[in-house]
Amino acid sequence: HPRLSKLKKELMTDLKILMESCENELIARGYYPKTIAKWKNCWKDLKNWMQSNSISELNEEIAEKYCMQAFGMYYVKVDSPRKNKQGLRAIRLLVSFHLTGDLEAKCPHNPIVLTGPLGNVAKEYLKYCEDELGMRYATLAAKKADLRLICNYAIEKQIDCGALSGQHIESFFQESNFTDSRWCRCGHNMRSFLRFLHAKEYIEEDLSAAVPKSSYREDAKLPSVYSTNEINSILGAVDQTSAMGKRDYLILLLASQCGLRATDIGSLQIGEVDWDRDMICHVASKNGEKLEIPLVASVGNAIYEYLTVRPKSPSNAILVSLKAGRKGLPLTPKRIGTIVSNYIAKADIKDRGNRRHGSHALRHSLATELLEKGTPLPVIGSVLGHRSPESTAIYTKVSPSSLRKCALPMPPLKSTFYADVKTDEK
């Protein structure tokens, strides 16, 4: 048909221009030629599919339809084959460039959606936690993940909000196959949610007592720490002659000498370094606590050295990515943890396999070192940004000098047994 032939010709012209423009942008950002070649093949498959289905315009809806047919997903699934993930990445890159003129940083995971009879009240509860209780993003995300499970359970069992009972709650936990730590966390979140439902009169009685208790104790695990010599070995493993080395060295110092979390290292802004007062002023991402950390000379020098080679970026974050496709974008907490882990492995520290090896281990090491030097727990807590003294007290378990102070004097023994044993030995 003449009209169909014209439509195919226009489609081929438009997609060809789009593919060439996207390819040029990938080349400019430093992507490897082999990677670009693989993605171009995926784009050709998309073009052929659109032609065979007489589709004239590329948009997100069309892209999603194609991806669902070709790869079985439009959002990343952990257990998907690597080839499907690469194909999905290629199509989403092309679509994001077509719609926004920019390249999508990475394929997002399937968003958490709260639906069913409990969906709306779960959203109301999360808004209450954010507005009234001041909970931060990470805490809300963990709660939302747990709430999705109970919402899906209510859909599966066809349970209305008002009909929720203690037996339903017990069955939910019994069928969920949680690990001990997940059971503990989900149980805590579920009790809070059920108390909210009762307070808002969505349910007649408080069902929080129906949540099965867990024997898991979070404080039973000792934090992993590294000695001062080991920290120096980790820092010594960095090649500081390159831009990446200067950046990575700064990351290690911010974790080991300032005690910052990975999220705070990644979100630290240029304007938060007060050079006049020699302080780092930052709001903790986890709990919103205002931190004022002394800017020691080693950290200050490392910041200055890195800023002289830092790539241009629209972001005010100090630490940005040097990787193609993300160049100039702030580092993610996951990437920061990987960087620290790589240098701990490179330092070839003995007994590393029995300890955690992310950025949080360096934070633990700083707290333990301060405690060994006799620094009061409240001061350590303020440096680390802890809200509760109990969060800081856990470090006394890995400090031998602190444990010795807790030792009680041996009471006198009234039994003659030990005296008899001593006499026999003589």
- CB of 279 within 8 A of CB of 295? yes
Given a contact cutoff of 8 angstroms between Cβ atoms, the answer to whether 314 and 331 are in contact is no
Q: Are 189 and 153 in contact (CB under 8 A)?
A: no
**Which is it for strands 279-283 and 290-294: parallel, antiparallel or unpaired?**
antiparallel
Which helix (H) or strand (E) covers residue 151, if one does? helix 137-157
What CA–CA distance (Å, rounded) separates 83 from 89? 10
160: left (phi over 0), alpha (psi -120 to 50) or beta: beta
Q: What is the DSSP string of 36-50?
A: HHHHHHHHHHHHHHH
Catalytic residues: 261, 286, 360, 363, 386, 395
Q: Report how far Cα 48 is from the mean position of its chain's Cα atoms.
A: 39
Q: Which two tokens stand for residue 110?
A: 């399937």
Distances (CA, A) of 186 to 69, 180, 220, 238, 409: 35, 10, 18, 40, 42
Half-sphere exposure of 258 (CA within 13 A, CB side): 31
